[in-house]
Copies of this chain bind each other. A is one copy, B any other.
Amino acid sequence: MNIEAVIERVLQSIRPTDEERAFVEALMKELRTIAEEKINELGLDVKPYFVGSLAKDTYLAGDHDVDLFLAFPLETPLEELREKGLELGEAIAEKLDSYEIAYAEHPYVRAKYRGVSVDLVPCYDVKDWRDVRTAVDRSILHTRWVNGNLKGRNDEVRLLKRFLKGINAYGSEIYVRGFSGYLAEILIIKYGSFLEVLEKADFMLRQKVIDPAGWLRREPEVAMKTVRRETKEDRPLIVIDPVDPRRNVSANLSWERYGIFYFKAHQFLENPSEEFFFGKTGTKGSYLAELRRKGTHLVTLMFPKPDLVDDILLPQLERSAKGFERALSREGFRVLSWDVGHRSGKAFVMLEVDRRERERVTIKPGPEFFTERGWDFYRKNEKVWIIGKRLYAEKRVKENIIDVILELLEKDQVALGKNVREDIKSGEILLDYVPKELEEDAYLFLSREKWNLKG
């Protein structure tokens, strides 16, 4: 299939239908009416703004969550904004189906309405980057800038976002460190089309700095400071935010995710297919066959998924995996690779190790021989010898990796993420076996298909 045909087919499935579009527009209209009513009732000077991909018409079919920002005048004290903002959000949400309070820099209301998730977020009504006071304030400016510059290339954004999702490089969350939606929009505006962006994968990296709004000319001092700071941080890209010269839009983009984009863009241009957009289907294989092929072993720590959002849970699992890597290597096991995640209500840390048993006798270094502690060591151990000034002895050790892990956990010798420490300690440890629901994760991990650039 040629590239245009592939793109056309993909567009058919990701472009919202007229029905979806009508539904979304009706929904927004209705929400705006409710919001305005409540603002009046509470006698507030607040403007409601829709932001995000819905407001920019860059959402993917079926993916139409609403972000309704409640903008307070700049002179509102922060404390008042928090309080009144939450009160207003709750008043609006009362008219919807259900809601809960969620927490970011300040609390906001997350409601459900007609099957759609609706975030009601208080912010300041900023007109300019110099006014920005909280992390969410820029969203209104982003929406405005994209809408002013996209010039009908909304489907190009949809293609790029879907492509990034398909190759596992979408999302600026800390546990993804990929491309944000706003970054995708900027790249389309800058380079004109989905295919142009793919073709620029190498060029962008070499050019490094992207400045779509010309800040380096308009505010050279502030913009250069951003470039210098981000250069020092060694980011793959420095995209000066069109609405704020102090900010690198791609500050959270990792080299790994950029690298995936880099190779997948190349592959797609060479050999286009729909698979790039939707992930490979049927990447099934047997994790047991992988273990046999590689001669390695799989240790899985598993426990009921704690009630934490991914932003918290996944970094904590990663920290724990790294803790196991270090602790096991001190114990003579090599961790070749690790993976973390959750599936069907189970959180897991998977460790691929080089062997399941280690030698039964190991060598224990002791103190200098001519000291009190040296004499203790000499008395306590059966076989003792000297290398340099120090005594050494044989020590019998637990041989199975599971026993070693249990002992490490018991002695608190593994650095674990603090929110998952107790879960891991009371969880299950599996060797060369995972339950049905984790079989695919185990396969993708062990076969490296999860991150294989050629997968």
Which A residues contact B (CB, under 8 angstroms)? 202, 205-206, 255-256, 259-260, 262-263, 293-296, 332, 334, 336-337, 354-355, 357-363, 369-370, 378, 382-389, 391, 394, 399, 447-449, 451-455
Task: Please measure, in the bound complex, the distance between the C-alpha atom of A387 and the C-alpha atom of B177, giving whole angstroms.
Answer: 13
Q: Is B369 a contact partner of A454 (Cβ separation < 8 A)?
A: no
Q: Is B360 a contact partner of A294 (Cβ separation < 8 A)?
A: yes
What are 10 A-B residue pairs whose CB atoms fall within 8 Å in the complex?
Answer: A205-B370, A255-B389, A260-B386, A263-B378, A263-B384, A332-B354, A378-B453, A383-B447, A383-B452, A386-B451
Q: Is B354 a contact partner of A259 (Cβ separation < 8 A)?
A: no
- Answer whether A451 and B295 are a contact pair too, CB < 8 Å, given A259-B369, A378-B263: no
Quote the shortest CB–CB distance from A295 to chain B (angstroms): 4
Q: Is A452 a contact partner of B385 (Cβ separation < 8 A)?
A: yes
Task: Please measure, in the bound complex, the distance between the C-alpha atom of A262 and the C-alpha atom of B263, giving whole angstroms.
Answer: 65
**Across the two chains, which residue of chain B brings its CB closest to A362?**
B336
- Answer whether A294 and B361 are a contact pair too, CB < 8 Å, given A389-B259, A448-B383, A452-B383: yes
Q: Is B360 a contact partner of A336 (Cβ separation < 8 A)?
A: no
Q: Is A358 a contact partner of B369 (Cβ separation < 8 A)?
A: no
A387: chain B residues at CB < 8 Å are: 256
**Across the two chains, which residue of chain B brings its CB closest to A370?**
B205
Task: Please measure, in the bound complex, the distance between the C-alpha atom of A455 and the C-alpha atom of B383, giving whole angstroms.
Answer: 8
Q: Is A293 a contact partner of B361 (Cβ separation < 8 A)?
A: yes
Q: Is A295 a contact partner of B399 (Cβ separation < 8 A)?
A: yes
Shortest 5 CB-CB contacts between residues of A and residues of B: A259-B386, A295-B360, A385-B451, A294-B361, A255-B389
Task: Please measure, in the bound complex, the distance between the C-alpha atom of A455 and the C-alpha atom of B385, giving whole angstroms.
Answer: 10
Given contacts A259-B369, A263-B369, A295-B357, 8 further A-B contacts (CB under 8 A): A255-B389, A260-B386, A295-B359, A337-B363, A384-B452, A385-B448, A386-B451, A386-B453
**Across the two chains, which residue of chain B brings its CB closest to A295?**
B360
How many chain copies?
2
Q: Is B295 a contact partner of A388 (Cβ separation < 8 A)?
A: no
Quote the shortest CB–CB distance from A39 to chain B (angstroms): 49
Task: Please measure, in the bound complex, the distance between the C-alpha atom of A244 and the C-alpha atom of B244, giving whole angstroms.
Answer: 81
- Answer whether A256 and B363 are a contact pair too, CB < 8 Å, given A383-B454, A454-B383: no
Residue with the greatest number of chain B CB neighbours at <10 A, chosen from A205, A362, A369: A369
Residue with the greatest number of chain B CB neighbours at <10 A, chosen from A260, A378, A448: A448
Quote the shortest CB–CB distance from A67 to chain B (angstroms): 32
**Across the two chains, which residue of chain B brings its CB closest to A259?**
B386
Q: Is A262 a contact partner of B370 (Cβ separation < 8 A)?
A: yes
Q: Is A360 a contact partner of B448 (Cβ separation < 8 A)?
A: no
Quote the shortest CB–CB distance from A445 to chain B (angstroms): 11
Task: Please measure, in the bound complex, the distance between the C-alpha atom of A440 and the C-alpha atom of B336, giving whole angstroms.
Answer: 39
Quote the shortest CB–CB distance from A73 to chain B (angstroms): 45
Task: Please measure, in the bound complex, the distance between the C-alpha atom of A388 and the C-alpha atom of B236, giving whole angstroms.
Answer: 10
Task: Please measure, in the bound complex, the distance between the C-alpha atom of A259 and the C-alpha atom of B371, giving whole angstroms.
Answer: 11
Task: Please measure, in the bound complex, the distance between the C-alpha atom of A363 and the C-alpha atom of B360, giving whole angstroms.
Answer: 27
Quote the shortest CB–CB distance from A305 to chain B (angstroms): 26
A354: chain B residues at CB < 8 Å are: 332, 358-359
Quote the shortest CB–CB distance from A359 to chain B (angstroms): 5
Q: Is B361 a contact partner of A296 (Cβ separation < 8 A)?
A: yes
**Across the two chains, which residue of chain B brings its CB closest to A363?**
B336
Quote the shortest CB–CB distance from A290 to chain B (angstroms): 9
A296: chain B residues at CB < 8 Å are: 359, 361
**Across the two chains, which residue of chain B brings its CB closest to A296?**
B359
Quote the shortest CB–CB distance from A306 to chain B (angstroms): 27
Q: Is A453 a contact partner of B355 (Cβ separation < 8 A)?
A: no
Task: Please measure, in the bound complex, the distance between the C-alpha atom of A451 and the C-alpha atom of B363, giving whole angstroms.
Answer: 14
Q: Is A382 a contact partner of B454 (Cβ separation < 8 A)?
A: yes
Task: Please measure, in the bound complex, the distance between the C-alpha atom of A387 and the C-alpha atom of B358, giving whole angstroms.
Answer: 28
Contact of A256 among B260, B388, B394 (CB under 8 A): B388
**Across the two chains, which residue of chain B brings its CB closest to A399?**
B295
A448: chain B residues at CB < 8 Å are: 383, 385, 394
**Across the two chains, which residue of chain B brings its CB closest to A290?**
B361
Quote the shortest CB–CB distance from A331 to chain B (angstroms): 12
**Across the two chains, which residue of chain B brings its CB closest to A336?**
B363
Task: Please measure, in the bound complex, the distance between the C-alpha atom of A420 and the C-alpha atom of B100, giving whole angstroms.
Answer: 77
Q: Is A370 a contact partner of B202 (Cβ separation < 8 A)?
A: yes
- Answer whether A369 and B262 are a contact pair too, CB < 8 Å, given A361-B294, A385-B451: yes
Task: Please measure, in the bound complex, the distance between the C-alpha atom of A295 and the C-alpha atom of B386, giving whole angstroms.
Answer: 23
